[in-house]
Amino acid sequence: MEATIVKKEYGNKQVYFVGGGIASLAGAAYLVRDCDFPGQNIHIIEEMKILGGSNDGAGDVEEGYVIRGGRMLNDEVYENLWELLLTIPSIDHPGMSVREEIIAFDTANPTHSNARLVNRKGEVEDVLSMGFDMADRMALGKLIITPEDKMGKARINDWFAPHFFETNFWYMWATTFAFQPWHSAVEFKRYMIRFMHEFPRIQTLEGVTRTPYNQYDSIILPMHKYLEPFGIDFTLKCTVTDLEFKDGDGITVTKMNVLREGIEDVIDVNEEDIVIVTNGSMTEGSSLGSMTSAPTLNGKGSSWKLWENIAAKKPGLGNPSSFDDHVDGSKWESFTVTFQDSAFFDLMEKFSRNRAGTGALVTFKDSSWFMSIVLAFQPHFRNQPEHVKVFWGYGLYPDQVGDFVKKRMCDCTGEEIMEELIGHLHFEEHKDNIMATANCIPCMMPYITSQFMPRLNSDRPKVVPEGSTNLAFVGQFCEIPDDVVFTEEYSVRAARIAVYTLLGINRSVEPINQYQFDVRTLFTSFVTSFR
């Protein structure tokens, strides 16, 4: 009876999510779970033909599998993600939640890398020492205690001397989180604080939590299946091109301009309705290559153009230019390799002394492309046959010429990327066996670290901007104080804040764990800096 009364209060209120990534799916879950909001009044509008956004995972044996990026999770700091996944039922294990499923899987397959860094000779390096000198330690300490508003658009290499970028720490931290020297010092500072508990174990990546399959199969699909029975409207192959606002100083959306499979349309938005926008996208403009072709470098797509359109109309809606106009600084290239046998995996497991799914990243620290690979637990896809093996890798410097293939990574075919990898591993005598069934699909992502670009605090809009009555932002390009972008948690936290705020729900969001104030963490980190 009480639920009926609550629903009646909503009347004909509609909620529109622009974008079908994890933020929108989480927002919809909070609406039905915590707000008793009618599912048929929730609309998720997605440009692609599939949900999930950057949390992707697709393909088959014949064409090859693709994951544009891998998602490493963390038990200690993904506070709202874990709380949400505790209420999402597992697809594979009746009676278990997705969170419980992940815990069980991770417990059975704990991460402990035995080959985190590999040198130019193909030797596994001893990385117990961080490699700092006193200047590095002092600069780190200064970074952590300096207020963000005093840092502006400072870059990481504005804070640290060249020596810092040749330390074991930098090689490991940079590749774990995909930092570049020219990225934002503020974001780097946030990571150092948020993941301080990971600093002492960065050489083994023991803090990494994995999902049983890729992020689409393990997280997005269960969330979608959870939402479906509520009658939520999933509108695919539909692009939101612009928002129109009510005249005046406030921020009230009145219309949404859309393209439905190429046909222009308008969605009228009433003042009591809510619009929640994923502004910007890390994976927009992604392009795939093949064994015989290199990927292309694409420009801005719809999510960036939408944000640019609406930011020009009202103050307080951010400055997308800080993020989407610097492709040379935000791009890198990943690759997914599908094998029809275990030859490469057998060699890698012997080389790394890690069973697939337990070793995390293997980084070739002297690679001109700054290349890393990771062998996930197999199968990594729901439809992957037992004999098929799939791994993922990436290069942070795609414009650099390779060490074995004398071409820029961005100009290389999948076959050439495999040749470069085989060279770094010194597996030349096994090349024919490895290449016999290899299908390497490169992926160029022009905006993959755009969220790390130097920015002012005002460049990201607040989740609910000042003066907004019905508009919120979610995803990686809104502002949540103290939290870190490039994480699942950031998107989920933003969605929870947006829903609770705009619906006036008196429920708390899971707080950020403050490990920087934990004496044991501080002491262990201090000791680690002198290893």
431's torsion region: left (phi>0), alpha (psi -120 to 50) or beta?
alpha
Confidence at 71, pLDDT banded by 50, 70, 90: confident
Q: What Cα–Cα distance (Å) separates residue 522 from each residue in 130, 202, 386, 525?
A: 16, 15, 45, 5
Q: Which amino acid is at 522?
A: L
For residues 311-331, give the mean pLDDT: 97
Does residue 481 or residue 9 have the better pLDDT? 481
CB 407 within 8 Å of CB 416: yes
Q: Which tokens go with 215?
A: 């992020």
Could you tell me the domains of the chain?
2-55+75-98+213-281+299-317+456-503 (3.50.50.60)
What pLDDT, in 10s, does the model give residues 253-290?
Answer: 999 999 998 899 999 999 999 999 999 999 999 999 99
What pLDDT, in 10s, does the model give residues 468-498?
Answer: 999 999 999 999 999 999 999 999 999 999 9
Is 191 in the active site? yes
Whether 135 has a pLDDT exceeding 80, the answer reads: yes
Mark 53-75 as b/e (b = at least 16 C-beta within 10 Å): bbbbbbbebeebbbbbbbbbbbe
What pLDDT, in 10s, does the model give residues 212-263?
Answer: 999 999 999 999 999 999 999 999 999 999 999 999 999 999 999 999 988 9
Instruction: Write out the E strands in 117-203.
Output: 117-118
- Among 30, 65, 191, 394, the active-site one is 191
131's torsion region: left (phi>0), alpha (psi -120 to 50) or beta?
left
